């Protein structure tokens, strides 16, 4: 395979989500160090974009280096930084801000010249809420009290779950939802699928035509769609085949791959003739609203991509696909 055939060659930067794409908690996703190292060797600009607000860019970069992935703090943009950017557009330096979350949130507030406080009785002008490993109910209580007293509310992100090496666990969205039940307003959100985090990253890299690599359709891919970026969905984290088949128009990726090494391979080419969808050796035909996979041993990701495109056509014309049936056919191919 020639280097010129690589998918990434059509872009001037590759932006990576972290959880589920580059690592799963304390361990690297298979091929992450190899793939990102190869991208850097090609001269590709690399940025790490995370909705996880718990850690500082310095801590994230150090963790990446420990996993064998070359990274510098300037390569990392967190949702805490993007959320603080929203606050500094609205409030001057020295403004008191109630911090709900971990060190990643607190440090971002301090570095921006805002004053972090821990009690609603400190009369904060705003509340910033992000993930913290030691988050307490009392922090949520203080947030609700401050918001109900008129403080502006910014959430770093609203991811409902977070992938780890042991499985999915509640994300910051769960804690935001808890506060939401006690207040009458909704937060301004910095992280994906909203634009601030991606816009800040693109501005920092000076990119004109980036591709975003993520493992979630509802945040990563939807965020890329909102920001007008192409995207690669990797199947190494939160979302898999069932989610892709059912994706709505606002969360459909440009490409799909098993992991981020797909950037170094040619992009999948789909051809459609009538009701037949072909990708590599995979062939899928629509029989009414039923997705029918031809017999054979194609690459599973090729078959999934063709089946997803067929499913989307049915959904877009108002039909309903039996995704369980489609998944059963995909499973028989392996």
Cβ atoms of 207 and 13 closer than 8 Å = yes
**CATH code of the domain in which 131 resides:** 3.40.50.1000
* Alpha helices by DSSP H, 206-322: 222-227, 241-245, 300-316
What does the pLDDT average to over 253-269? 93
Question: In whole angstroms, what is the distance from residue 239 CA to residue 243 CA?
Answer: 6
What does the pLDDT average to over 286-297? 94
* Per-residue model confidence as pLDDT tens digits over 59-79: 999 999 999 998 999 999 999
Task: Tell me if 67 is assigned to some domain.
Answer: no
In this structure, the dihedral spanned by the alpha carbons of residues 89, 94, 99 and 105, taken in order and rounded to 10 degrees, is 60
Q: How many CB atoms lie within 10 A of CB 175?
A: 23
For residue 320 the two structure tokens come to 């309903």
What does the pLDDT average to over 69-98? 96
> Residue 219 pLDDT more than 60?
yes
* Alpha helices by DSSP H, the chain: 32-42, 57-66, 79-90, 103-111, 137-148, 172-180, 195-205, 222-227, 241-245, 300-316, 323-332
Task: Tell me if 234 is assigned to some domain.
Answer: yes
Mean pLDDT over the full length of the chain: 94
The one catalytic residue among 9, 19, 74, 165: 19
Task: Tell me if 68 is assigned to some domain.
Answer: no
Tokens 């945040």 label which residue? 219
Of 187, 208, 227, which residue is a domain's last? 187
* C-alpha dist (Å) from residue 285 to 22, 246, 303, 326: 35, 17, 11, 11
Asked about 134 being catalytic, the answer comes back as: no
The range of the structural domain enclosing residue 323 comes to 270-332
Confidence tier at 185 by pLDDT (50, 70, 90): very high
Of 264, 285, 312, which residue is a domain's last? 264
Q: 3-state DSSP call for residue 290? A: strand
* Per-residue model confidence as pLDDT tens digits over 202-211: 999 999 999 9
For residue 118 the two structure tokens come to 């821990």
Closest CA to 260 of 57, 11, 18: 18
Rg over alpha carbons for the chain, rounded to the nearest Å, is 21
Same-domain pairing of 143 and 98: yes
C-alpha 50, offset from chain centre: 7
Asked about 215 being catalytic, the answer comes back as: no
Cβ atoms of 134 and 159 closer than 8 Å = no
User: What predicted TM-score, i.e. pTM, was given to this entire model?
Assistant: 0.89
Question: In whole angstroms, what is the distance from residue 118 CA to residue 133 CA?
Answer: 16
Same-domain pairing of 177 and 203: no
**Structurally, how many domains does the chain consist of?**
3
Of 130, 155, 187, which residue is a domain's last? 187
The one catalytic residue among 17, 75, 159, 302: 17
Q: Phi and psi for 195 in degrees, rounded to 5?
A: -80, -30
For residue 29 the two structure tokens come to 């996703």
Question: In whole angstroms, what is the distance from residue 53 CA to residue 51 CA?
Answer: 6
Residue 290's region, left for phi above 0, alpha for psi from -120 to 50, else beta, is beta
């Amino acid at each position: 395979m020639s280097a010129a055939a690589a998918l990434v060659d059509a872009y001037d930067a590759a932006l990576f989500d972290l959880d589920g794409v580059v690592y799963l908690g304390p361990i690297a996703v298979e091929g992450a160090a190899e793939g990102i190292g190869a991208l850097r060797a090609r001269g590709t600009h690399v940025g790490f974009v995370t909705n996880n607000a718990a850690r500082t860019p310095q801590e994230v970069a150090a963790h990446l280096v420990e996993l064998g992935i070359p990274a510098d703090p300037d390569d990392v943009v967190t949702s805490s930084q993007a959320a603080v950017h929203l606050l500094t557009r609205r409030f001057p330096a020295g403004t008191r801000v109630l911090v709900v979350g971990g060190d990643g949130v607190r440090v971002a507030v301090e570095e921006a010249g805002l004053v972090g406080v821990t009690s609603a009785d400190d009369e904060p002008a705003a509340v910033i809420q992000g993930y913290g490993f030691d988050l307490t109910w009392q922090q949520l209580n203080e947030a609700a009290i401050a918001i109900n007293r008129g403080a502006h509310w910014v959430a770093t992100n609203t991811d409902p779950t977070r992938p780890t090496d042991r499985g999915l666990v509640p994300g910051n969205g769960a804690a935001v939802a808890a506060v939401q039940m006690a207040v009458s307003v909704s937060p301004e959100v910095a992280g994906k699928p909203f634009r601030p985090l991606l816009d800040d990253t693109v501005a920092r890299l000076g990119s004109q035509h980036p591709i975003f690599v993520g493992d979630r359709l509802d945040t990563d891919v939807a965020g890329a769609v909102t920001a007008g970026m192409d995207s690669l969905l990797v199947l190494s984290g939160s979302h898999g085949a069932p989610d892709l088949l059912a994706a709505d128009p606002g969360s459909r990726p440009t490409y799909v791959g098993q992991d981020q090494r797909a950037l170094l391979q040619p992009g999948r080419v789909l051809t459609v003739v009538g009701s037949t969808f072909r990708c590599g050796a995979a062939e899928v035909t629509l029989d009414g609203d039923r997705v029918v996979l031809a017999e054979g041993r194609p690459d599973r990701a090729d078959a999934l991509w063709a089946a997803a495109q067929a499913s989307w056509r049915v959904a877009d014309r108002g039909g309903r696909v039996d995704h369980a049936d489609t998944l059963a056919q995909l499973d028989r191919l392996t």
